[in-house]
Structure 1
Amino acid sequence: MWWVVGAIVVVLLAGGGIALAVARGDGKPRAATPSSVPPTSAEPAPTTPPPSPGADITGPLDLVLLGVDTRVTIPDWEPHSDAIMLLHVDKGLKSAYLYSLPRDLRVKMPAFAKAGFGGGTYKLTEAMSRGSRVPGSKKANVKQGYELLTKTLSAYTGIKQFQAGAILNFGGLDKLVDQLGGIDLAVDQKVSSHHRKPDGSLRPLVGGEYQGPAAVYLPGKRHLVGWQAIDYARQRYGLPDGDYDRQRHQRQMVRAILTKALDQGLAADSAKLEGVITALGETLVYVGGRTPLEYAYALRDLEPSKITLVGLPGNGVGGGSGYLGEALTAEGRGFLTALTKGQAPGYLAKHPKLVNK
């Protein structure tokens, strides 16, 4: 299940509306501070409005976007990061790259004393759950899990610092998409649902198999409402490349939501923007040194069309006990190296198949 896209609206381009509110509100000229020396003329001394919060952020930025299964209905359930997406914004904040890492990526995790974790090699999705453990307690700490996950990501990708992260759990994407009036998406392959009927109701699970007619998403331009967006984004079974196809569909949906948010004129409709943010409610956890509002203002000129969607290919790896996880190919790892060196445009020019059209 994937809930990441809503976080981007809050942390990223939904900020177009937030940024405008800052410029029109806090950015208005303020009364001059009284001085011990009176002005020499009757004209009031000119004042310079203070810079908007976030105006000093120039990039580059690396942001983490996570879809986390917290299973709030199950007591003491440990959170798992089911969708892991990274957004790199170039210096100047006018262009960006959005790419995914497989949830089952086999990675080395550093020791993490806060959780009593000694380190080791595991699937990337486990970093959140292992890092969230609080010794002596059955309660999970999501922000603590995020800390171990980002340490693991830094070691794997070579990105030294992630400036902020947005974490969404179950229970927000359908409301978010419906708040926008649905989204328009170019479906690139036939996708059959394992979980939903054509009317959106759940398919019954009988003997380990889903029964009854299934919702089907055919190639072409489609308008998806909330439950359809959730259903489409979570499907991987029956697709030629499984989870890699699902990752691509998730990235496409990110851009579709951002495009719809801008087309809806959120920048000029503070009430509607507030409704979108409210739709997320407690399903969103934000982690960062600066506030979402500051990043929103800094990224006000980043258009969805300037976000390059990148797919990193990989293969399953195994051992004596069978399947162990996924590993990126040399071509996929090469993109991460190029990105950290500021050479992503040239690398993608040489490896055009990595770009999702």
Structure 2
Amino acid sequence: MKRRAPLWARLTTVVGCALTVISGTTLVGGPTLIASYTGDITDDSLLETGANASKKKIEGPITMLLVGIDPRKASTPPLSDSIVVAHIPADRSTAYLFSIPRDLYVDIPADAKSGLRAQKGKINGAMALGSQVNGKIDVSNGFKVLSKTVRNVTGIKEFDAAAIINFGGFKNIVEALGGVSMVIDMDVKSEHLQPNGKQRPRLARCPAKNSPPGCDHPYTGPQKFYQKSTKPVRLEPWEALDYVRQRYEFKGGPPMTDYDRQRHQQQFIKAMAKEAMSKDVITDIGKLTKILDAAGKSLTFAGGGNTPIEWALALKDLNVDDMTTVKLPGGGNFNGDGGRYLGEEFGPEADEFFEAVANDKIAPFLLDNPKLVNKDG
């Protein structure tokens, strides 16, 4: 029989660390934009908290929306650079993770509170647009716009829970874990860091501010290299965070796109959850306290009126080892004038997958479509 962790530990692991998704932008520094936001993230599908709020029962299949933001400062509208959906079937035995590409070209709905007009654009901008309310940044309203956009794309009627992670404090969570072990499924070179972990210098013609055209890759010099492996490799916190940021191929290396980065993000969530469930973490009160403290400074959780402890109880049988990551087919949308690139679009199989999510039939669907399952090593 597999050992089950104490429920309070699962709070920080499955419902905490596994909700901690990764951004493709800066992971250190910056303000903690939502640290002071202590209430639930209100949405059409998530009940408001308060004296008169009623709880939504935690029953049946569960679908969670996990969003990663990294505002450079409190006055900057937050882009949702990572969007991951977690579906837990009614038997609560496992979880399925799939990503929404940050550049997915979608219909962004109108929003009265922010004055946003319905428009087309990349999905990572939906939250930023919806958060601009009366000259101030309203993260919860931006989340509502993003949630509605995701639900329109996927056909998911509602989310049972949601989390926003601010990356200003994310590095501390990974450091509290002491790193993670992952299979490196392809050769990857870092766009950002040198082999010693220090920032790569910028080209003289590409300053940090007001860079001219042609500075899409502004760095120069030696690059940190992550070699393909067949067995898990122990990654230091800075290495793990750097590895899952990468989306550019290098000369002589394998083709690489944002879809590869999405896969690595999903694998990292799974690796974090397994790391946090390990004996070394669960039996170390000091380490668990550090994880709690780090998450508390950077994570906002909405549970439909239910506390994180109540969610931990509901997910007590979740088997992290059987967590499945899913790769949704897609490619570039070149329907603009003259074949101009607009963003990404899903392939037809994605709609069939979303229908399986709605009907809580993911397992049989993936048996019939095994190519959609990521090989996590």
Quickly name the TM-score band, shorter chain normalised.
Answer: 0.7 to 0.9
Instruction: Give the match's secondary structure for 1:114.
Output: coil
Q: Give 1:245's aligned residue.
A: 260
Identity of aligned residues (%): 40
- Deviating 4+ runs (over 3 angstroms): 8-11, 13-16, 264-271
CA distance in 2 between counterparts of 1:173 and 1:228 reads: 14
Q: After superposition, what is the alpha-carbon deviation per residue over 1:252-291, rounded to whole angstroms, capped at 9, x for unaligned?
A: 0011111111113544544432210212343222233222
Q: Give 1:71's aligned residue.
A: 72
Instruction: Give the match's secondary structure for 1:178.
Output: helix
Which residue identity does 1:296 align to in structure 2? A
Q: Unaligned stretches of 5+ in structure 2?
A: 1-9, 19-54, 206-214
CA distance in 2 between counterparts of 1:11 and 1:121 reads: 37
Q: Give 2:361's aligned residue.
A: 343
CA distance in 2 between counterparts of 1:118 and 1:314 reads: 27
C-alpha distance 224-173 of structure 1, shift in aligned 2 (>3 A): farther
Q: After superposition, what is the alpha-carbon deviation per residue over 1:267-316, rounded to whole angstroms, capped at 9, x for unaligned?
A: 45444322102123432222332222221221122121221110101110
Instruction: Give the match's secondary structure for 1:177.
Output: helix
C-alpha distance 180-273 of structure 1, shift in aligned 2 (>3 A): same
Q: Give 1:44's aligned residue.
A: none
Q: Is the 8 A contact 1:11 1:166 kept in 2?
A: no
Q: Is the 8 A contact 1:15 1:300 kept in 2?
A: no
Q: Give 1:314's aligned residue.
A: 330
Structure 1 position 172 matched with structure 2 position 169: yes
* Selected match of 1:224 from 206, 229, 235: 235
C-alpha distance 13-131 of structure 1, shift in aligned 2 (>3 A): closer
Q: Give 1:38's aligned residue.
A: none
Q: Give 2:14's aligned residue.
A: 12
Q: Give 2:311's aligned residue.
A: 295
Which residue identity does 2:258 align to in structure 1? D
Q: Is the 8 A contact 2:15 2:308 kept in 1?
A: no
CA distance in 1 between counterparts of 2:238 and 2:220 reads: 19
Q: Is the 8 A contact 1:15 1:296 kept in 2?
A: no
Q: After superposition, what is the alpha-carbon deviation per residue over 1:75-97, rounded to whole angstroms, capped at 9, x for unaligned?
A: 62110000100000111211221
Instruction: Give the match's secondary structure for 1:346.
Output: helix
CA distance in 1 between counterparts of 2:124 and 2:289 reads: 32
Q: Is the 8 A contact 1:11 1:292 kept in 2?
A: no
C-alpha distance 159-295 of structure 1, shift in aligned 2 (>3 A): same
CA distance in 2 between counterparts of 1:268 and 1:11 reads: 13
Which residue identity does 2:354 align to in structure 1? L
What does 1:110-121 align with in structure 2 at a 5 Å threshold? Answer: 110-121=109-120
CA distance in 2 between counterparts of 1:180 and 1:336 reads: 33
Max radius of gyration: which structure? 1
Instruction: Using the TM superposition, give the Cα deviation of residue 342 of structure 1 relative to its aligned residue in structure 2, in angstroms.
Output: 2.2
Q: Unaligned stretches of 5+ in structure 1?
A: 1-7, 17-53
Instruction: Give the match's secondary structure for 2:277.
Output: helix
C-alpha distance 151-168 of structure 1, shift in aligned 2 (>3 A): same
CA distance in 2 between counterparts of 1:13 and 1:112 reads: 30
CA distance in 1 between counterparts of 2:186 and 2:238 reads: 19
- Number of equivalent positions: 309
Q: Is the 8 A contact 2:184 2:227 kept in 1?
A: yes
CA distance in 2 between counterparts of 1:347 and 1:274 reads: 40
Q: Is the 8 A contact 2:17 2:269 kept in 1?
A: no
Instruction: Give the match's secondary structure for 1:187.
Output: coil
Which residue identity does 2:337 align to in structure 1? G
Instruction: Give the match's secondary structure for 1:315.
Output: strand
Q: Is the 8 A contact 1:63 1:88 kept in 2?
A: yes
Q: Give 2:246's aligned residue.
A: 235
CA distance in 1 between counterparts of 2:93 and 2:272 reads: 18
Q: Please state which structure has a larger fraction of its residues in strand.
A: 1
Q: Give 2:153's aligned residue.
A: 156
Instruction: Using the TM superposition, give the Cα deviation of residue 149 of structure 1 relative to its aligned residue in structure 2, in angstroms.
Output: 0.7
C-alpha distance 11-305 of structure 1, shift in aligned 2 (>3 A): closer
Q: After superposition, what is the alpha-carbon deviation per residue over 1:297-347, rounded to whole angstroms, capped at 9, x for unaligned?
A: 211221212211101011101211621111100112221122112221222
Q: Is the 8 A contact 2:177 2:281 kept in 1?
A: no
Q: Is the 8 A contact 2:114 2:132 kept in 1?
A: yes
Structure 1 position 146 matched with structure 2 position 143: yes
C-alpha distance 15-232 of structure 1, shift in aligned 2 (>3 A): closer
Q: Please state which structure has a larger fraction of its residues in helix.
A: 1
RMSD: 2.3
Q: Give 1:28's aligned residue.
A: none
CA distance in 2 between counterparts of 1:66 and 1:15 reads: 13
CA distance in 1 between counterparts of 2:345 and 2:11 reads: 30
Q: Is the 8 A contact 1:95 1:306 kept in 2?
A: yes
